[in-house]
Amino acid sequence: MKIFKSFKILNKEIDFNESIGFVPTMGTLHNGHLSLIKVAKKKSKKVLVSIFINPTQFNNKKDFLEYPRNINKDILALKKLKVNYLFLPHKNEIYKKGTPKKINISLNDKILCSKYRKGHFEGVLAVVDRLMSEIRAKYIFFGEKDFQQVYLIKKYLKKIHKTKIITCKTIRNKNKLALSSRNLLLSQKLISKCEQISKNLFHYKNKILKDFKNIVLLNEYKLKIMMLCDKVEYFEIRNSINLSKRFSKKNFRIFIAYKQKGIRLIDNI
């Protein structure tokens, strides 16, 4: 596996005329990330993974500093999967002089996570735009767990880049909890509570699918979930195509963000 730390050397060494699959990550790789890489390996001739913890998407400095990091373990995992290339840029490589650190989004898109994490997606879009501008891969892969993030990347960046955006299913543990690097910050007791929250989400969705009138149980399920965490930031049902509040039995999706001992977790089903 070749490791690069600058765009200049990366572009000199990689032939982007080949079918290259790109998986951008913030490291502390788990089975969710590895599943993206496996899909990329099947769809592409060669795979490039990046690890960069983007400071501009953290609206809380403490959250940035406490975000889990384990680069040595990540490199071993990538080598085991026989990933071809790894990009490990410094923040000065990403945000060179004149490079925007934020991309503005419309007021209509300041919902769900964007409402509660000021500037978060503006930072996400800026770093993804920078990566896609310099890395001319055929495909780029994202997970559905960050559903709103993928929606905004498609909305704001799809038209200006040739790289095809591929979305992959959320990977969960045996008790339905969505895998996340932040899960490492939780005790086993809190993990168990999060698993119960996930089970409640699936139970609620199944009720709606059986009888759409059960949508009125939203507040009842929110109360159940509030008993399993410190705080529920949002618990909403939205259109899975455009994230509006106009949805039907065929296109609804449940979104949630909650906190366990200060650790913020999200999910959607």
**Structural contact between residues 223 and 217, judged by C-beta atoms closer than 8 angstroms:** no
- Beta strands across the sheet bearing 252-260: 231-239, 252-260, 263-268
Domain boundary residue among 144, 168, 192?
A: 168
Quick check: is 66 in a domain? yes
125 plus 202 within the same structural domain? no
pLDDT tens sequence across 226-245: 999 999 999 999 999 999 99
Regions of the chain where pLDDT drops below 50: none
pLDDT of residue 165: 98
Of 135, 139, 133, the closest CA to residue 11 belongs to: 135
52 plus 111 within the same structural domain? yes
Of 141, 65, 155, 140, the closest CA to residue 103 belongs to: 155
124 plus 188 within the same structural domain? no
pLDDT of residue 143: 97
**Structural contact between residues 259 and 235, judged by C-beta atoms closer than 8 angstroms:** no
Q: Classify burial at 146, counting beta carbons within 10 Å of its beta carbon; exposed 0-12, middle 13-18, buried 19 or more.
A: buried
pLDDT of residue 61: 86
Residues 231 and 107: their CA atoms lie apart, in Å, by 25
Quick check: is 116 in a domain? yes
pLDDT of residue 62: 87
**Structural contact between residues 43 and 118, judged by C-beta atoms closer than 8 angstroms:** no
Residues 151 and 146: their CA atoms lie apart, in Å, by 9
Quick check: is 175 in a domain? no
10 plus 99 within the same structural domain? yes
Q: Which of 33, 90, 120, 161 is catalytic?
A: 33
Residues 99 and 197: their CA atoms lie apart, in Å, by 40
Domain that holds residue 256: 181-268
The enclosing domain of 52 has a CATH number of 3.40.50.620
**Structural contact between residues 139 and 40, judged by C-beta atoms closer than 8 angstroms:** yes
Domain boundary residue among 168, 198, 232?
A: 168
Contacts of 227 (CB under 8 A, 6+ apart): none
142 plus 255 within the same structural domain? no
Counted domains in the chain: 2
Query: For the CA atoms of the chain, what is the radius of gyration?
Result: 19
The enclosing domain of 200 has a CATH number of 3.30.1300.10
C-alpha dist (Å) from residue 263 to 86, 100, 111, 231, 236: 29, 29, 20, 10, 20
- pTM, whole model, 2 decimals? 0.95
Q: What is the DSSP letter of 186?
A: S
pLDDT of residue 59: 84
- Tell me, yes or no, if 203 is annotated catalytic: no
Helix H or strand E segment including 48: strand 46-51
**Structural contact between residues 132 and 163, judged by C-beta atoms closer than 8 angstroms:** yes
Domain boundary residue among 145, 168, 191?
A: 168
186 plus 164 within the same structural domain? no
Quick check: is 176 in a domain? no
pLDDT of residue 203: 98
Residues 135 and 30: their CA atoms lie apart, in Å, by 24
156 plus 256 within the same structural domain? no
